[in-house]
Structure 1
Amino acid sequence: MASSLTRDELADALGRVADGDRAAFRVVYDATSAKLFGVVLRILGDRQTAEDVLQDVYVTVWSRAGGFDAGRASPITWLATIARNRAIDRLRTRKPVSRAAPVEVLETVADEAETPAEAVEAASERNRLNGCLNELDARASDAIRTAFFDGETYETLAARAGVPLGTMKSWIRRGLLRLRQCLER
């Protein structure tokens, strides 16, 4: 889980990934895959598609780790942005599919529910994130929630708010900076 590594340790691991260090890539994957899978799954709503997109995310991380700049964003923010963008790209290209499956399939599906400890930890993280989001001004908080949790594009948000795209990007960027400061406390 991402919480097992500090921000600096994760940034260091990404730096080593940029140098082609496979062990560092495994560290990054192990520390972030559950969180990034959650981001992708929330946007796509389909487990199999989310797994495919998550693989694309890590291929991108492997090839673009050299572009990570710890001065511009936290490692998890950089990774979540890649995941969000890949998921939105997939949404734009996918065709509607029937999700109905035969009842017999249910007998073979493994229970992938969280353990009680994981549920408590996830709830704690959600509460902390929501608390920090609530400290932001409503405009930034709403834009961040809609962009990152609902998968809306910045263009759609700007059109909805009746502001230029650059303004919307500025609101979100400043909001993310304040959110990061809050989460680091």
Structure 2
Amino acid sequence: MVIDGVEIPEDGGGVDPADEALSRAADGDERAFAALYDMMSGRVFGLIIRVVVDRSQSEEVLQEVFLEAWQSAPSFDADRGRARSWLLTIAHRRAVDRVRSSQASKRRDLAVGIRDLAESRPGVDAEVELLIDGGRAIRCLDGLPEPQRRAIVLAYFGGYSQREISVLLDAPLGTIKTRIRDGLTRLKRELEATR
């Protein structure tokens, strides 16, 4: 088999092409490493994205995996396993590390947010006023037509962008923008009328 001008023996001789490419890469052969990347990147990326889910983070992890493979290629021992398994093991470990790191970061951010909220907590009368205003807002929101209400709830309570809402509700982007604009206008009128 020839990949990117590099001759790599087929599996007929009992040698896995990935093993051969990694062996050559361990000796500093960049073209053999490129051939290994071409052979394995799709499968490695598939494993990573199943664990990480986020595409951009998965792409970063893929780069990390092949960087580690390039740097660690001389330590690969073909007697202990196949290059494919070795790469997939690195990929799984890196993907799990990325998920754990992301979760830890979210927990830290949440803890800081809760602490900041507790420090800036309003007085009792401000809290009561917020509860009253919140109750009025919910009643007014319930009075909106269903399409407007769903779009506003997804945008302001779900945190979705207008483009994401368009996909979720299977409606044109312009329609979603109109529903949100009209819904907010109507909501503002209703809130002003109930004061």
Q: TM-score when scaled to structure 1? A: 0.50
Q: TM-score when scaled to structure 2? A: 0.48
Structure with max Cα Rg: 2
